[in-house]
Amino acid sequence: MIFQYLLVALLSFVIIYGTQWPVPYERVTNRPTNNPYCQAGLISFCPTGKTEDAMIYAQDDNDIIEIFALKKPVWSFKFGDLMAKFKIMHDALGFRSQQTGQNWTMEWYELDQLFNCTFPHVLQNDSFIWCDQGALCVYNGIVDSMWNGSSDLSMLKKVAQISGKNYNTWASWAVNDNDTGVYYETWTVYSDNGPNSTMYFDSYDCASFVIRGLNQLYSYGADILPNIHLNYTRINIYSYEPELLGTYDQIVQNQTLHQDFLNFYHNFDSKKPSTGEWIKSLIDIYETFFLSRRFYLYYNNVYWYMKLKQPAPLKISFNEIPITSLLKMK
Ligand SMILES: *[C@@H]1O[C@H](CO)[C@@H](O)[C@H](O)[C@H]1NC(C)=O
Ligand SMILES: *[C@@H]1O[C@H](CO)[C@@H](O)[C@H](O)[C@H]1NC(C)=O
Ligand SMILES: *[C@@H]1O[C@H](CO)[C@@H](O)[C@H](O)[C@H]1NC(C)=O
Ligand SMILES: *[C@@H]1O[C@H](CO)[C@@H](O)[C@H](O)[C@H]1NC(C)=O
Ligand SMILES: *[C@@H]1O[C@H](CO)[C@@H](O)[C@H](O)[C@H]1NC(C)=O
Ligand SMILES: *[C@@H]1O[C@H](CO)[C@@H](O)[C@H](O)[C@H]1NC(C)=O
Ligand SMILES: *[C@@H]1O[C@H](CO)[C@@H](O)[C@H](O)[C@H]1NC(C)=O
Ligand SMILES: *[C@@H]1O[C@H](CO)[C@@H](O)[C@H](O)[C@H]1NC(C)=O
């Protein structure tokens, strides 16, 4: 009920004032329980981490905690370096105590894998289930060989350091960040590919965690080493100005719209990979963008309609984002 009021308020706001771009990513007060329907399948979430009180803190305020940028090709366990050729990289942070030599890793990723986060499950009766939560996994150790791979874009590199005391303040921030930023967003949406483009929606994925995490470490006093350049993968959609549609229940009220909406999601749902066919699925999904000319984006629990730009509605980018970029935006 409250959600309905908020949505009406949001719709009125949009009509009166126009939309604020990029649309701010909405946080929750507490992470909802994951729908038991949602299962990870092949790779379970955080198999080596603890499930409760998972954060690792510094034992001594006077310790120096070193910070590492970690990158590896997505699905490297399955495809080796293949994804690096398309610049599809996974990002994480590593930490090491100078006093004890102990190290640990933090990775933010999907609870139920990427495809489940990107497209809903369309049930027999046309209702949807989204398995789109992501979360922070913290575990002991940095497995050097996992990050220090043979791809040029792989990375295991010290980028900064911070006092134990300030690290612990940051670690509490990260726990709160994990409790309140819970939905994975695959896509970044821009008006075009040029330097003056408008960003309509920002992604919220493994790289976003590293970007805001490093920015927050800097704001808590971390020293950044000189000449650090970090590039991040984005999967960009280029669109005309998006149009807010609202919730599924609102979409159902317009039959033409509902039918097109279902066709769109059925089309993607049918292309999701079954074991072993991931590359074929990726290519099929990629082609869909060029044919469909439209996209229904799910963001902050509501849907938006987007008319895609032609001839290039989709592009993967791997551009530099400086550690202090978010701080400078405020
Ligand atoms: C999520 O994705 C994995 C791998 O694609 C799959 O095995 C699993 O069944 C999916 N979960 C659901 C609820 O479909
Ligand atoms: C983040 O949230 C997930 C999902 O609830 C949980 O499994 C994980 O342990 C949390 N991470 C930390 C560092 O608290
Ligand atoms: C659709 O089917 C699911 C699973 O069978 C059920 O839980 C849900 O209530 C149904 N929704 C509607 C609107 O009938
Ligand atoms: C992290 O610790 C492990 C186990 O001691 C060690 O093998 C690895 O080299 C360390 N990596 C870094 C980057 O400190
Ligand atoms: C990573 O690999 C390179 C080349 O294989 C090696 O020179 C370097 O010492 C390795 N770094 C770590 C931290 O293991
Ligand atoms: C971008 O904006 C700047 C400043 O307004 C302008 O000088 C430049 O020509 C624009 N570039 C493009 C490609 O539109
Ligand atoms: C229903 O949706 C269609 C397609 O998006 C749109 O053209 C039409 O104006 C909508 N009708 C109403 C009554 O909103
Ligand atoms: C990293 O980003 C910069 C600027 O955004 C770009 O010039 C450079 O080519 C990128 N590096 C790689 C390896 O793609």
Q: Report the separation in Å between the CA atom of 224 and the middle of ligand 8, taken as the mean of its atom positions.
A: 20
Q: How far apart are the first and last CA of the chain?
A: 33
Catalytic residue among 38, 46, 90, 131: 90
> Quick check: 185 pLDDT over 70?
yes
* Cis bond upstream, residue 36 (ω within 30): no
pTM: predicted TM-score of the whole model, two decimal places: 0.91
Q: Report the separation in Å between the CA atom of 104 and the middle of ligand 4, taken as the mean of its atom positions.
A: 9
Which ligand neighbours the alpha carbon of 138 most closely?
2
d(CA 301, CA 28): 11
Query: Is residue 252 situated within a structural domain?
Result: no
Q: Report the separation in Å between the CA atom of 265 and the middle of ligand 3, taken as the mean of its atom positions.
A: 17
Q: How confident is the model at residue 299 (pLDDT cuts 50, 70, 90)?
A: very high
For residue 268, report the phi and psi dihedrals to the nearest 5 degrees: -70, -40
Ligand 2 pocket test target in 31, 167, 178, 179 with most atoms within 8 Å of CB: 178
Query: Is residue 263 situated within a structural domain?
Result: no
* Strand order through the sheet with 89-97: 134-140, 103-110, 89-97, 64-73, 155-163, 223-224
d(CA 135, CA 158): 24
> Quick check: 1 pLDDT over 50?
no
How many domains does the chain contain in total? 1
Q: How confident is the model at residue 11 (pLDDT cuts 50, 70, 90)?
A: low
E-state strands within 31-148: 64-73, 89-97, 103-110, 121-122, 128-129, 134-140
Q: Please report the atom of ligand 2 found closest to the CA of residue 106.
A: 13
| pLDDT-above-90 percentage for the chain | 73
Domain membership of residue 222 as a residue range? 2-239+319-329
Tell me the per-residue pLDDT of 30-88, one tens digit each, with 9 for 90 and over: 999 999 999 888 778 998 877 777 999 999 999 999 999 999 999 887 778 888 888 99
Catalytic residue flag (residue 206)? yes
Q: Please report the atom of ligand 4 found closest to the CA of residue 142.
A: 1
Q: Report the separation in Å between the CA atom of 251 and the middle of ligand 6, taken as the mean of its atom positions.
A: 38
Query: Is residue 267 situated within a structural domain?
Result: no
| pLDDT-above-70 percentage for the chain | 93
Question: pLDDT value at position 272?
Answer: 80
Catalytic residue flag (residue 229)? no
Query: Is residue 313 situated within a structural domain?
Result: no
DSSP H helical ranges for the chain: 2-17, 76-79, 82-85, 114-118, 144-147, 164-180, 206-219, 248-252, 255-269, 278-292, 325-329
Which ligand neighbours the alpha carbon of 305 most closely?
7
